[in-house]
């Protein structure tokens, strides 16, 4: 019976069998030490017997083998256990050296990223790289659990669409049996429509953007976490998002201490209620503190986003901050203006460690108003069949509702402190990259 | 504070407030009865007071309102509770009649399906239709929990690919900044490659097939449940799939009794170990029982799949059956032939209620063998860059591994007993349908 590396501590002094890949091999004082990698970690194996050493001759890292031996306590070994008096069974010999190092940290410097991604299939065997996606799996699971706790229904909406209802230029088009189809940039309209059915819906699925830019934050495909809720207010949405980020950080730090250390990741400060600051106040504080005049501007400058995050960290004890009171003139047509003050939108952007990670907003749910906004704000034609499903949902009764969309890779990036979102993407796609 | 329909039983005799949509409205003996729908169910509301009745004048099904009143036990009402002495607050009046009935079951007859899908956005408010996707959400959640229990890592692989490595004609192509990209038909190669990293991986995500057929089982986009495991045998895979189907059926029947009744769905018999029958034995039994000669054929006839499922149900007490010992000549190039008998493939198809719901197979993990099979079985060129990632994974060490892919919609369909997979799809896509 195979034992996993994480379970060896419970078998000290016993005969055990492990299975995995040769991760590292070195000679030291007449002994051969190999590290064997399995799905959890590494096991150090001491090979002394000449016949056993002979079995490894000419074999490279990546070789798949079984090791039977005695588990011995050894504080200097990974996991604190070592295997002695071993018998090796090579099940898959590897005779080529791997094209990228898997037993020491790989460089994430900008000029090494193409190499990193070109050799991704093998490079992910590096346990530091693998750790990124083990953490991402936990982030994703925690987000889903949070949705379930809050009574959301999961849905699967189509990514093949007849027309592009949002965006315009940044839409991929494809031949669909002689017609043109487009790839969804977001499940925005579907999630709103499904509030009329389930009240609370979520989806975690790929979305597509024909982004012409090759920057640290643009990708043509990413994993979008989308949530939408009916019968709520903007404050409910703020509370929901605060709790979501809090839950993710707590769970990741509870489960992945060792992997986080490999990346020198520091735990973000996330209060259970993330502070809310109005755009006006940010402009004023920023202008006063930096001498850069931004008061009256309709958006935050990138530098201002960084500044307010530093301010919130220092003064409010939070690595995240909500920006409220966005100008209504900047609304998308499906956004909702504030009932008391129609000059501002019912919207909050969540900034985390210097960048926006999600926009939460209330949606206009009144048929007449959304038809007017479609014309006035987007120059859209309400009789365009692409808008019919959304407008019909309103026409036949939609409650006040709101939601958000959040890039899973960007959240992973900010949690680990990466410069480029692609470092937190399993197989990134951008204008220059379609493989592997 | 709003109370949900499911919680009313705990508030009998109290003043409560509910929120939702008018689902049904009727006059009876001078009283107005309305059913209010929320995310869980229906609440019957008795409106007596003339001023309150007046508030509903001209308003249609779909109207969003708040109802404050006294919760009264009433066995004949849905959920056993009724609201009396109510005050209504209409928050979103609806004055148009819905284009499709939402308060009685909708026809799923083949000639009504187009209507059903054309009006999907509103039609899903029908609680019988909604039930399908509440059940689907539970199926999906149960499958994920089962993966987590078995130590799988979730991954997100790209659907935008440089070349089509599988399939051929049934691949969607799109313009990718002047190059050609294709849409993934399956994460097959990615999941195999990621066994080299995580040992056990899963993904639940859309896949795309440019299917020219408009049948009850073809769609151009569906949700594929993919799992892949290293260091396993075919028997491990059978056990895993048995347990998966068992867990899904148990959880759906535990959670959705009422919704299943709406569809007259009967609970399938799934033993913890689903029986395995060889193709040869099925051919022999079928030929003997029906007089139709199928012995020696390399696949099961559709009629034979139905027959063996009925046989398994009657004789073996199982609504599911594994078909083993497939001819190796029919293997895909990445499949594995049996070590003892290379004439058969290490593959099992899982039949459930008359159709195949998944193929589980061991993959060839030895570099030299897979290169040979690529040439011999698929006529492929191992130097084609599209194969490089998969072949490199083998070259640098892959353990024995296997996995499966399963359509979430098809599983939902068979659990509910639908004739057409599109009935179990939120917004189906086929050669004729790209909207809504």
Q: What is the CATH number of the domain that holds B54?
A: 2.40.50.140
d(CA A429, CA A408): 15
Q: Are residues A61 and A178 in the same domain?
A: no
Mutation target vs A (from B3, B145, B146, B160; most A CBs, 10 A cutoff): B160
Which positions in chain B touch A223 (Cβ < 8 Å)? 156
On whether residue B117 sits in a domain, the answer given is: no
Q: How far is CA A167 from the centre of its chain?
A: 23
Which positions in chain A touch B151 (Cβ < 8 Å)? 39
DSSP assignment of B80-104 equals: GEEEEEEEEEEEE---SPPSS-SSS
Lowest mean pLDDT among A157-171, B84-98, B166-180: A157-171
pLDDT at position A29 is 81
pLDDT at position A164 is 63
Report the pLDDT averaged over residues B269-281: 97
On whether residue A118 sits in a domain, the answer given is: no
A169 pLDDT above the threshold of 80 = no
CATH, residue A168:
3.30.930.10
Number of domains within chain B: 2
Which positions in chain B touch A22 (Cβ < 8 Å)? 397
On whether residue B262 sits in a domain, the answer given is: yes
CA atoms lying within 13 Å on the CB side of residue B435: 16
d(CA A64, CA A413): 32
Q: Are residues A318 and A395 in the same domain?
A: yes
Q: Tell me which residue in A96, A174, A427 faces B158 most closely, judged by beta carbons.
A: A427
On whether residue B259 sits in a domain, the answer given is: yes
Report the pLDDT averaged over residues A381-399: 96
Of all residues in chain B, the one with the smallest CA distance to A132 is B155
Question: What is the band of B167 on the pLDDT scale with cuts at 50, 70, 90?
Answer: low
Q: Which domain holds residue A266?
A: 127-424
Q: Tell me which residue in B91, B173, B429 faces A175 most closely, judged by beta carbons.
A: B173
Count of pairs with CB atoms under 8 A, one residue in A, one in B: 233
Residue B68 has a CB neighbour count (10 Å cut-off) of 14
Q: Are residues B72 and B152 in the same domain?
A: no
Question: What is the band of A82 on the pLDDT scale with cuts at 50, 70, 90?
Answer: very high
Report the pLDDT averaged over residues B81-110: 96
Question: What is the band of B214 on the pLDDT scale with cuts at 50, 70, 90?
Answer: confident
d(CA B72, CA A186): 44
d(CA B303, CA B129): 30
CB of B271 less than 8 A from some CB of A: no
What tokens appear for B414 in the block?
A: 């068979």
Question: What is the band of A213 on the pLDDT scale with cuts at 50, 70, 90?
Answer: confident
d(CA A219, CA A221): 5
pLDDT digits (tens, 9 = 90+) for A85-121: 999 999 999 999 999 999 999 999 999 999 999 999 9
The average confidence (pLDDT) of chain A is 96
B117 pLDDT above the threshold of 90 = yes
What angle do the packed helices B388-395 and B367-378 form, to 10 degrees?
Answer: 150
Q: Tell me which residue in A144, A385, A397 faces B64 most closely, judged by beta carbons.
A: A397
d(CA B263, CA B258): 9
Instruction: With a threshold of 0.90, tell me whether the complex ipTM lies above it.
Output: yes
Q: Tell me which residue in B155, B231, B397 faces A94 most closely, judged by beta carbons.
A: B397
Question: What is the band of A375 on the pLDDT scale with cuts at 50, 70, 90?
Answer: very high
Q: Tell me which residue in B96, B196, B210 faces A125 most closely, judged by beta carbons.
A: B196
Å between B250 CA and nearest CA of chain A: 19
On whether residue B103 sits in a domain, the answer given is: no
Question: What residues pair up with B355 in beta bridges, in sequence order?
Answer: B352
Question: What is the band of B408 on the pLDDT scale with cuts at 50, 70, 90?
Answer: very high
B94 pLDDT above the threshold of 80 = yes
pLDDT at position B29 is 80
What sign does the CA torsion over A416, A417, A421, A427 have?
negative
Last residue of a domain, one of A69, A92, A115: A92
| CB proximity list for B86: less than 8 A, separation 6 or greater | B45, B46, B47, B49, B52, B67, B68, B69
A166 pLDDT above the threshold of 60 = no
Q: Are residues B86 and B132 in the same domain?
A: no
Q: Are residues B220 and B88 in the same domain?
A: no
d(CA B371, CA B376): 9
pLDDT at position A420 is 98
pLDDT at position B409 is 98
A167 pLDDT above the threshold of 60 = no
Q: Tell me which residue in B2, B140, B385 faces A231 most closely, judged by beta carbons.
A: B2
Å between B130 CA and nearest CA of chain A: 7
Last residue of a domain, one of A92, A109, A143: A92
On whether residue A104 sits in a domain, the answer given is: no
Inter-chain CB proximity A122 and B393 less than 8 Å: yes
Å between B331 CA and nearest CA of chain A: 22
Å between A131 CA and nearest CA of chain B: 10
Q: Are residues A181 and A264 in the same domain?
A: yes
Q: Tell me which residue in B198, B393, B395 faces A39 most closely, judged by beta carbons.
A: B198
Which positions in chain A touch B197 (Cβ < 8 Å)? 124-125, 130, 133
Is the whole-model pTM more than 0.80? yes
On whether residue A430 sits in a domain, the answer given is: no
Q: Are residues A336 and A238 in the same domain?
A: yes
A113, A135, A170 from A107: Cα distances, Å:
8, 19, 32
Q: Which residue from B100, B104, B33, B37 is spatially nearest to B64, judged by alpha carbons?
A: B37
Q: Are residues A59 and A175 in the same domain?
A: no
Q: Are residues B218 and B147 in the same domain?
A: yes
Residue tagged 């402190």 (tokens): A417
pLDDT at position B28 is 85
Q: Are residues A56 and A165 in the same domain?
A: no
Lowest mean pLDDT among A422-431, B157-166, B257-266, B300-309: B157-166
Mutation target vs B (from A18, A121, A155; most B CBs, 10 A cutoff): A121
pLDDT digits (tens, 9 = 90+) for A223-269: 999 999 999 999 999 999 999 999 999 999 999 999 999 999 999 99
Residue A320 has a CB neighbour count (10 Å cut-off) of 25
| Partner B, chain A 281-310, Cβ-Cβ below 8 Å | none
DSSP assignment of B301-334 equals: -HHHHHHHHHHHHHHHS-SEEEEE-EEGGG--TT
d(CA B356, CA A376): 52
Report the pLDDT averaged over residues B83-106: 96
Inter-chain CB proximity B429 and A160 less than 8 Å: yes
On whether residue B231 sits in a domain, the answer given is: yes
pLDDT at position B30 is 81
pLDDT at position A121 is 98
Which one is predicted more confidently, A30 or B243? B243
d(CA B391, CA B285): 41
Q: Are residues B77 and B138 in the same domain?
A: no
d(CA A270, CA A323): 15
**Nearest 5°: CA angle at B228, between B414 and A420?**
115
Of all residues in chain B, the one with the smallest CA distance to A213 is B177
Inter-chain CB proximity B397 and A21 less than 8 Å: yes
pLDDT at position A214 is 86
What tokens appear for B341 in the block?
A: 């008998």
Backbone φ and ψ of B410, nearest 5°:
-65, -40
pLDDT digits (tens, 9 = 90+) for B353-391: 999 999 999 999 999 999 999 999 999 999 999 999 999
CA atoms lying within 13 Å on the CB side of residue B130: 26
pLDDT digits (tens, 9 = 90+) for B318-364: 999 999 999 999 999 999 999 999 999 999 999 999 999 999 999 99
pLDDT at position A18 is 98
B163 pLDDT above the threshold of 80 = no
Q: Which helix (H) or strand (E) holds A179?
A: strand A179-183
B276, B320, B323, B349, B355 from B308: Cα distances, Å:
11, 9, 9, 12, 10
Q: Are residues B62 and B132 in the same domain?
A: no
Last residue of a domain, one of B69, B92, B115: B92
d(CA A99, CA A119): 7
């Amino acid at each position: 019976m195979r034992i996993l590396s994480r379970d060896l501590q419970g078998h000290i002094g016993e005969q055990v069998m492990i299975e995995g890949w040769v991760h590292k091999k070195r000679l030291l004082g007449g002994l051969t030490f190999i590290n064997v990698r399995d799905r959890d970690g590494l096991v150090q194996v001491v090979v002394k017997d000449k016949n056993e050493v002979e079995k490894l001759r000419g074999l490279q890292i990546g070789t798949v083998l079984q090791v039977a031996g005695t588990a011995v306590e050894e504080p200097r070994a990974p996991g604190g256990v070592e295997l002695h008096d071993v018998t090796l069974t090579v099940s898959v010999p590897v005779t080529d050296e791997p094209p990228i190092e898997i037993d020491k940290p790989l460089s994430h410097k900008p000029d090494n990223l193409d190499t990193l991604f070109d050799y991704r299939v093998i490079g992910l065997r590096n346990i530091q790289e693998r750790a990124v996606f083990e953490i991402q799996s936990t982030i994703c699971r925690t987000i889903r659990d949070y949705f379930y706790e809050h009574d959301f229904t999961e849905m699967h909406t189509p990514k093949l669409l007849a027309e592009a209802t949002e965006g315009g230029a940044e839409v991929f088009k494809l031949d669909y049996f002689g017609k043109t189809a487009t790839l969804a940039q977001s499940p925005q309209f579907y999630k709103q429509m499904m509030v009329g059915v389930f009240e609370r819906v979520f989806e975690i699925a790929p979305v597509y953007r024909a982004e012409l830019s090759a920057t640290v934050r643009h990708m043509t495909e990413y994993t979008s976490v989308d949530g939408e809720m009916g019968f709520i207010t903007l404050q409910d949405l703020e509370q929901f998002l605060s709790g979501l980020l809090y839950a993710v950080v707590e769970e990741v730090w509870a489960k992945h201490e060792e992997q986080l250390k490999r990346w020198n990741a520091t735990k973000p400060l996330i209060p259970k209620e993330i502070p809310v600051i109005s755009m006006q106040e940010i402009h004023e504080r920023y202008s006063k503190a930096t001498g850069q005049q931004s008061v009256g501007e309709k958006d935050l400058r990138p530098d201002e986003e960084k500044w307010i995050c530093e301010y919130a960290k220092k003064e409010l004890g939070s690595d995240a901050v909500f920006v409220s009171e966005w100008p209504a003139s900047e609304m998308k047509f499906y956004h909702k203006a504030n009932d008391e003050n129609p000059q501002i939108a019912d919207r909050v952007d969540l900034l985390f460690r210097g960048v926006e990670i999600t926009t939460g907003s209330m949606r206009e749910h009144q048929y007449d108003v959304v038809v007017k906004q479609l014309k006035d704000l987007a120059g859209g034609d309400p009789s365009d069949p692409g808008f019919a499903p959304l407008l019909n949902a309103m026409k036949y009764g939609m409650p006040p509702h709101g939601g958000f969309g959040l890039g899973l890779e960007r959240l992973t990036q900010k949690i680990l402190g990466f410069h480029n979102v692609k470092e937190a993407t399993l197989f990134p796609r951008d204008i220059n990259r379609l493989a592997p």
